[in-house]
């Protein structure tokens, strides 16, 4: 569950730096505060319902909210300009291939260990 929020958290860092570079420190701080408060509330609710998995899911939900608010402030046009890049498509394909390769290697190692 936690892994779902890793990409939004990483991309948020990049777009937050864009906000800082454009002298929008207060906007970045407000967005982070909103996401933090929402994350705490969702964490408490999901922790009681689902336990540890709920905490991981709440972190992912908080990351997606933070990413959404940050991209909205930066501008969706900038986001889509980045997404349309050919290099990004190659990167995504490479990451997917690497994930399958690592999963295969993990399976082989686990079978070898047992």
Tens of pLDDT, residues 49-82: 998 888 888 988 988 999 999 999 888 887 787 7
pTM of the model: 0.69
Pick the more confident residue, 41 or 78.
Answer: 41
Mean pLDDT of 34-61: 90
Contact 58, 50 (CB under 8 A): no
Q: Which of the four pLDDT bands, split at 50, 70 and 90, describes residue 2? A: low
The pLDDT value recorded for residue 10 is 81
Mean pLDDT lowest among 19-28, 75-84, 88-97? 75-84
Q: Is 90 exposed, middle or buried (0-12, 13-18, 19+ CB in 10 A)?
A: exposed
The pLDDT value recorded for residue 48 is 92
């Amino acid at each position: 569950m936690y892994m779902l929020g890793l990409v939004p958290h990483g991309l948020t860092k990049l777009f937050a730096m864009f906000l800082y570079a454009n002298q929008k420190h207060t906007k970045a701080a407000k967005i982070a505060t909103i996401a933090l408060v929402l994350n705490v509330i969702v964490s408490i609710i999901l922790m009681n319902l689902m336990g540890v998995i709920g905490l991981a899911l709440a972190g992912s939900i908080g990351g997606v909210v933070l990413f959404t608010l940050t991209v909205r402030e930066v501008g969706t046009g900038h986001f889509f300009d980045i997404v349309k890049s050919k290099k990004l498509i190659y990167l995504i394909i490479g990451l997917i291939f690497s994930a399958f390769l690592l999963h295969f290697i993990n399976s082989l190692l686990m079978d070898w260990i047992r």
